Chains A and B, each alone.
Chain A
Amino acid sequence: MSKQPRDNDFTIKIANVNGTGSASANTLLMKTFFRMGIPVAGKNYFPSNIQGLPTWYEIRASRDGYICRSGRVDVMVAMNAETYRKDLNDVAPGGYLIYDSTWPRAKQLAREDITIIGVPLARMCNEHFTRARERVLMKNIAYVGVLAALLELDMAVVRALLQESFAAKPQLLESNQAAFDLGYRYAKETFTCPLPFRAQPMDATGGHIMIDGNSTAALGALFAGATVVGWYPITPSTSVIDTFKRHAERLRRDPETGRTNVAIIQAEDELAAIGMVLGASWNGARAFTSTSGPGISLMSEFLGYGYFTEIPAVLVNVQRCGPSTGMPTRTQQADIMACAYASHGDTRHVLLFPANPEEAFYLTAQAFDLAERLQTPVIVLTDLDIGMNDWMCRDLKWDAGYQPDRGKIMSREQLEKIEKFHRYLDVDNDGIPWRSLPGVHAKGAYFTRGSGHNMYGAYTEDAKEYQAVVDRLRRKWETAKQHVPAPVVEYSERHRIGIISIGSCDGAVREARDRLVAAGVATNYLRVKALPFNQQVQDFLDAHDRIYVVEQNRDAQLRSLLLLETRVDPSKLVATLHYDGLPILAASIVDGINRDLAAGKAA
């Protein structure tokens, strides 16, 4: 974002109280930008609570296509008296604050360097609507009307959106339209419209959708053919399962029997959830669970079991702010280490790191192929920012020719022919043994155990036999490098500085790189998409003298992982961190890099 807001380049923030029904108003506003062809991002900052606590919704319009958090507020809609003072302070100089002038504001709550716009939202709605709930709800639509006038939103788009939302409820359409008009007319009559910065139609959102990553992860699992789900509710992952269920009930229903080809089991806790997933996968179904940090902690024992017994499993970990219960409704990337080595003993897991909802779709689907190909748990690490916020993504495509990669499963015919089946024998020399499914053939029978076993699957406490198995598991890890998605690399030999990043940092890194270029600092960029790291990651590390590792946690976990899993000189890797629970800003990256560069020059 430039220093001053411009047309299609500004941020609106709406301060509200949760439980007052502002979500649909905010979505209406966000979608209006999107349909006007303006790149937009919606970020919801909500409390871990059902009703009565402060909540904010932020809409960034960006003609340059930057869809990370902007870190500034050009227009504040201050609907929450309790946070008014803070909200007032947050407005960038030269910005605007809209408040409900039904009740007078204290004098000291003023600022000289911004414009304050009072709209009697409550009074207008109380006069116009009779029912109590409607009076509360419609205030939200009314401020959308105010913004529409101030920002010159396309009225046809707004009308169409309202019509679509309330197609089934004509009386609701009427009141929403009326509330919108109240705000719109008041603003038009009272203020100079539009503001110096406006929403102007563009053509930059075609072929895109506005979607959250929990929805897309759910769709990824659905399209990959998942049939068994074990889960336990936890913010911010719950809507992965909610969405999966909603679509599965419709799209997986057998028209003849009326029954659905899916079992979604709400478990008693996360230990049971992952146990169910392992049981189902062991039995040949594609199964997954979705959770967040505390759930990963509870699943750890079983994750080690899955690793050692080589059972496929897919987990979506929508990371939230830790440690412990932490801040359930705030975002972080602080489970990287916990997931990489979840469980005791020499355990390591394949991880996937989507950067946005689009990738959450494809990588969640791919996780099933990887889990079965590699016969091991695969954890997809998204975060609250990806999972619960609305991101502009390219349309999702599903390859019509896709067939699940079920990996090495002995068929009935193969078992019939074979002399003797051994579960953990590395017959193909790639570290991946063959498995058999229960119920298929007596010759396929084997014993799955988390205790010491030899390459034939029998119990062992023999030093050599045990070691042969764990060494082979390490070879499988090497094989995994050829299967996991490659990093995204933007590289030019001319540039000496590298940035390595992960997941939802991507948008902020991109914006930061543009700003750095404008300031004369060109960078190369690598974004890891998976653990294990492959050769490209090593090459990138080798090719730079100074690499900024950008991530959203306090302890530089990605940096630690790079140190552990590659041959990199630690002094090259500069931790560039953001971990306050809010999504990362381009500014924090630019500042971090500039600080380091300045220190280097001074030295």
Chain B
Amino acid sequence: MSFLQKPKVSHPGLPRNELGLTVRDYEGGMSTLCAGCGHDSITAALIQAVFELSIPPHRMAKLSGIGCSSKTPAYFASASHGFNSVHGRMPSVATGANAANGELVYIGLSGDGDTLSIGLGQFCHAIRRNLNMLYLLENNGVYGLTKGQFSASADVGSKAKKGEVNQQPPIDPCLLALSIGCTFVARSFSGDKAHLVPLLKAGMRHRGFALVDVISPCVTFNDHEGSTKSYQFTRKNAQVVTYADYVPPATEIRSEQAAGTVQSVTLHDGSRVLLRKVGADYDATDRTGAFDYVSRHQAKGEIVTGLLFIDEGKPDMHQVQSLPDQPLNAVPYGKLNPGQKALDAIQARFR
């Protein structure tokens, strides 16, 4: 709900990015979410990420479904086109938009209800197409907007505010994504901006589908004792497996970035993701290893965070479809019109 415009007064001393824009140029309407909602912290991280990447606001598109989380597009980047679609169907809109013009940066915002229940099919198929987009899942274990029903990401044994205990096994978006070929899988926590921002940046620069599942506590319906998506529970049980550092193209790697066990992954535009690994033998390019690691730790009640998996080598939808470099929405009609001669040739077969 962006009917409140934030006053735009920039401090003259605010840092500017390569485009000369300040972080304020990436802000949006005033949030109308509950005070303390994890989703607001994600918005802040997102603003930071797109600012640091110096993305021209009009060259990115924000798309979402329905839910508190799906309101995020209204709260950042007022100078970008936004598309608040219908519940659970953002991936298809992003697919069509992307097919029409692959040059924009597509940022999809969704919730665990929007993605894992009503939108599970579209989510999976966007992954299968390796649609080039950042898919940010603001995961709070409940349907916030409809007042706190369990979502499909609720853990077995997690307690609702009124005491009901969830019995159904959860769908873990990261494990699911890993199992169906997702080329970028990350998990983070809305309460850890330093951890989240580089993942968002890397996700936007990754060519292909980048899932960033962010545990984002719902302070109103799922932040109590007994909930496994509360701030307290997440802080206690988050287990960081990798810290990501996003290094833009042609940038020197600083010595502190190289410290420890570091895995470097080069993205298609020449930028790099440096992964400082906490578990020394974690390999973020090993799909089955990642799946195994995450499942094992999950069974112990831990929430594994970090860039869990990346494969920069897979073709994205545009490559698979062999689409032209020129965006389809810009191909002049003269090039699209086969003309009467071609029509005559076709008709010759119908006589």
Q: Which of B57, B58, B61, B340 has the most CB of A within 10 A?
A: B58
How far apart sit A284 and B104, CA to CA, in the bound complex (Å)? 13
| Least Cβ–Cβ distance between A117 and chain B, in angstroms | 31
Write out the residue numbers on chain A whose beta carbons fall within 8 Å of the beta carbon of B79. Answer: 442-443, 445
In contact, B3 and A447 (Cβ under 8 angstroms): no
Binary contact readout A99-113 vs B (1 if CB under 8 angstroms, 0 otherwise): 000000000000000
A438 near B97: Cβ-Cβ < 8 Å = yes
Query: Across the interface, do B343 and A447 meet the contact criterion of CB distance under 8 Å?
Result: no
B99 touches A265 (CB 8 A): yes
CB <8 Å contact, B81 and A301: no
Known contacts A280-B99, A284-B100, A302 near B351 by CB under 8 Å: no
Residues of B within 8 A of A230 (CB): 92, 95-96
B101 at interface, CB cutoff 8 A: yes
In the complex, A446→B80 CA distance in Å?
7
The answer to whether A271 touches B92, judged by C-beta atoms less than 8 angstroms apart, is yes
CA distance A462 to B40 in the complex (A): 25
- Give residues of chain B (131-179) contacting chain A, Cβ–Cβ below 8 Å: none
Pairwise interchain contact B97-A283, C-beta atoms closer than 8 A: yes
Q: Which residues of A contact B98 (CB under 8 A)?
A: 279
Closest Cβ of chain B to A264, distance in Å, is: 8
Whether A261 contacts B335 by the Cβ 8 Å rule is: yes
Q: How far is the CA of A398 from the CA of B336 in the complex (A)?
A: 13
Given contacts A448-B83, A458-B3, A459-B2, contact A284 B329 (CB under 8 A): yes
Report the minimum CB–CB distance from A436 to chain B (whole Å).
8
Q: Does A197 have its Cβ within 8 Å of any Cβ on chain B?
A: no
Q: What B residues does A384 contact at CB under 8 A?
A: none
| Residue in A closest to B58 when the chains form the complex, CB atoms | A442
Given A227-B328, A272-B89, A285-B328, verify A439-B351 contact (CB < 8 Å). Answer: no
Which of B2, B96, B325 is close to A287, meaning CB atoms less than 8 Å apart?
A: B96
C-alpha gap A525/B346 in the complex (Å)? 34
Q: Are B80 and A210 in contact (CB under 8 A)?
A: no
Q: Taking each of A225, A395, A445, which has the highest tally of chain B beta carbons within 10 Å of its own beta carbon?
A: A445
The smallest C-beta distance from A266 to any residue of chain B, in angstroms, reads 10
Query: Bound state CA distance, A267 and B96, in angstroms?
Result: 10
B75-92 interface code vs A (CB 8 A; 1 in, 0 out): 000111111111001011
Among A211, A438, A440, the most chain B Cβ lie within 10 Å of the Cβ of A438
Inter-chain contact B96/A280, CB cutoff 8 Å = yes
Interface hits, A318-371 → B, CB 8 Å: none
* Cβ contacts under 8 Å, B7 to chain A: none
Q: Are B328 and A228 in contact (CB-based, < 8 A)?
A: yes
Interface residues of B in 331-351 (CB under 8 A from A): 331, 333, 335-340, 342-343, 346-347, 350-351
Given contacts A268-B121, A280-B96, A445-B81, contact A438 B101 (CB under 8 A): yes
* Given A263-B328, A396-B343, A398-B339, residue A280 in contact with residue B100 (CB < 8 A): yes
Within 8 A of B (CB), among A194-234: 208-211, 215, 219, 222-223, 225, 227-228, 230
Contacts of B323 in A (CB 8 A): 259-260, 263
Contact A282–B340 (Cβ < 8 Å): no
Q: B: which residues have CB within 8 A of A?
A: 1-3, 56-59, 61, 63, 73-74, 78-86, 89, 91-101, 103-104, 121-122, 124-125, 129, 321-325, 328-331, 333, 335-340, 342-343, 346-347, 350-351
**Chain A residues packing against B (C-beta within 8 Å):** 31, 34-35, 208-211, 215, 219, 222-223, 225, 227-228, 230, 247, 251-252, 254, 257, 259-265, 267-269, 271-285, 287, 301-302, 305, 395-398, 400, 402-404, 436-451, 458-460
A-B contact pairs, 28 of them (CB 8 A): A209-B347, A211-B350, A219-B343, A223-B338, A227-B100, A227-B336, A230-B96, A261-B335, A261-B336, A265-B321, A268-B121, A268-B124, A272-B92, A276-B92, A279-B93, A279-B98, A282-B93, A285-B99, A285-B101, A305-B86, A397-B340, A438-B80, A443-B79, A447-B74, A447-B82, A448-B83, A458-B2, A460-B3
